[in-house]
Amino acid sequence: MSNISQMPVLREQKVRRRGNRKLLLLLLFLFVVLLAILFFRSSFSKVQTIEMKGNRYLTPDEISKALNVQVGDQFFGTSAAEMDRRVSQLLPIEEVLIHKRFPGYILIEIREQQTVAFQLSPKEGTIKALLSGGNAVIPKAKNITLDKPVLTGWENRDALFKKLCNTLATIPEGLLADISEIKPDPSNAYPDRIKLYTRSKFEVSTTIAYLPEKAEYMNAVIDGQEPGKITMLEADFYTPYVKKQEAVTDSSQIEATQ
């Protein structure tokens, strides 16, 4: 009897309820799916605001058309990288930054190519802004201040035209502030020779290649001398205009001696 009493009592093993766990996981999955459906149907999942900054020549409609995303579209439907690629294809754009902020806010920061000059089109009756890449755009504003050089005689926008636009973009604006007009003046020795006219009545002859390194000299002459002709090629020359009174006096003296 003592041996029987000392035998350990066998505990009843509990059966694991695997079926309950599977059911719980299924319910959890259905709950997550339901939340996702409710979220994507709510306003929180949609684009609520699209803000644009930095566009001077491009209109909001042009940018929106390239973006191909509108208010009310799915916020997560298009990545920022894809929107950047689409907008970057527009002509005047130099750089684009797309910022997406939840919920529903998209900021488009645009840096357009630098305006380096203007060009008058008598046939079309328009003023075109010339950009650093050599492209031309029509400004949207009605009242335009011609604070850049006006390019005349460049009907054929060849490689030299583009080179001039690229070159103007590399020169500080202060050194170009007095230039009112630039026209081509090629020669056999200098195919890229140009003629510049300034607001202070100077006439400057140089080349597209020489202009960046000669711009400071040109401004020094303009600031310190009377109006005249400036030549900036391999050597630099300045010749003042002959005043009318001096010209009349000189001609009278010549006649008197004859």
233 shares a domain with 150: yes
pLDDT exceeds cutoff 80 at 196: yes
- Does residue 108 carry a pLDDT above 90? yes
Mean pLDDT, the chain, whole residue set: 86
Is the per-residue pLDDT at 253 higher than 50? no
Within a domain: 19: no
- How many CB atoms neighbour CB 165 within 10 A? 25
Does the pLDDT of residue 114 top 70, yes or no? yes
Whole-angstrom distance, CA of residue 226 vs CA of residue 88 = 47
* Residues 99 and 186 placed together within one structural domain of the fold: no
* Domain containing residue 55: CATH number: 3.10.20.310
DSSP 89: T
- Say if residue 220 is in the same domain as residue 163: yes
Number of domains, the chain: 2
The span from the CA of 131 to the CA of 114, in Å, is 5
- Domain coverage including residue 132: 115-244
97 CB contacts (<8 Å, ≥6 apart)? 84, 108, 109
The predicted structure's pLDDT at residue 12? 55
Residue 233 lies in a domain: yes
Q: What is the pLDDT of residues 50-107, one digit of tens each?
A: 999 999 889 999 999 999 999 999 998 899 999 999 999 998 899 999 999 988 999 9
Average pLDDT on 111-127 reads 86
pLDDT confidence tier of residue 37, bands split at 50, 70 and 90: confident
Percent of the chain with pLDDT over 90: 60
Residue 37 lies in a domain: no
Question: Is residue 88 located within the same domain as residue 133?
Answer: no
CA distance 180 to 196: 8
Give residue 203's pLDDT: 98
| Same structural domain, 167 and 199 | yes
Beta strands in 23-177 (DSSP E): 49-53, 93-101, 105-112, 115-121, 126-131, 136-137, 150-151
Q: Name which of 44, 53, 60 is nearest 104 in CA terms.
A: 44
- Give dist(CA 82, CA 226) in Å, integer: 57
- Res 204 pLDDT > 50: yes
CA distance 213 to 219: 12
